[in-house]
């Protein structure tokens, strides 16, 4: 059993050093960049520092991916019909506009 993280979403954003807005692909790319630098098997940094830093990077990555994957999409007929005049910008703002990461 793994311990539940106490890292907040804004803290995870800071750890990964991503912008206020990012796609899941952007989060994946940033994680890969940091992993190449900080993974203990390849890092040029102090081994203990590399280990601890990589753990925080992985924890932040997991939090942000989980955060981004937990949005529900509607497949109700009424919602799909509304989609014929779908405006992605309006949809995004209506669903995520007040969110500190995606809004």
CATH code of the domain covering residue 17: 1.10.287.110
What pLDDT does 69 receive?
87
Interatomic CA distance for residues 98 and 30, integer angstroms: 24
Q: Do 4 and 40 lie in a common domain?
A: yes
Q: Do 58 and 90 lie in a common domain?
A: no
Q: Do 11 and 59 lie in a common domain?
A: yes
SS (H, E, C) 25-82: HHHHHHHHHHHHHHCCCCCCCCHHHHHHHHHHHHHHHHHHHHHHHCCCCCCCHHHHHH
Domain range spanning residue 100?
74-103
Q: Do 40 and 59 lie in a common domain?
A: yes
pTM for the whole structure: 0.66
Q: Do 9 and 50 lie in a common domain?
A: yes
Report the number of distinct structural domains present in the chain: 2
Judged by DSSP in three states, 86 sits in coil
pLDDT digits (tens, 9 = 90+) for 5-33: 789 999 999 999 998 888 889 999 999 99
* Structure confidence at residue 86 as a pLDDT band (50, 70, 90): low
pLDDT digits (tens, 9 = 90+) for 42-84: 999 999 999 999 999 999 999 999 988 886 767 787 777 765 5
């Amino acid at each position: 059993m793994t311990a539940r993280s106490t890292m907040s979403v804004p803290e995870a954003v800071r750890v990964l050093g991503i912008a206020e807005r990012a796609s899941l692909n952007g989060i994946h790319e940033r994680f890969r960049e940091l992993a190449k630098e900080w993974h203990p098997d390849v890092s040029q940094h102090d081994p203990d520092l590399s280990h601890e830093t990589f753990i925080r990077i992985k924890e932040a990555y997991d939090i942000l991916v989980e955060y981004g994957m937990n949005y529900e999409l509607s497949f109700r007929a009424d919602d799909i019909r509304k989609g014929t005049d779908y405006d992605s910008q309006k949809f995004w703002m209506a669903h995520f506009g007040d969110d500190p990461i995606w809004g």
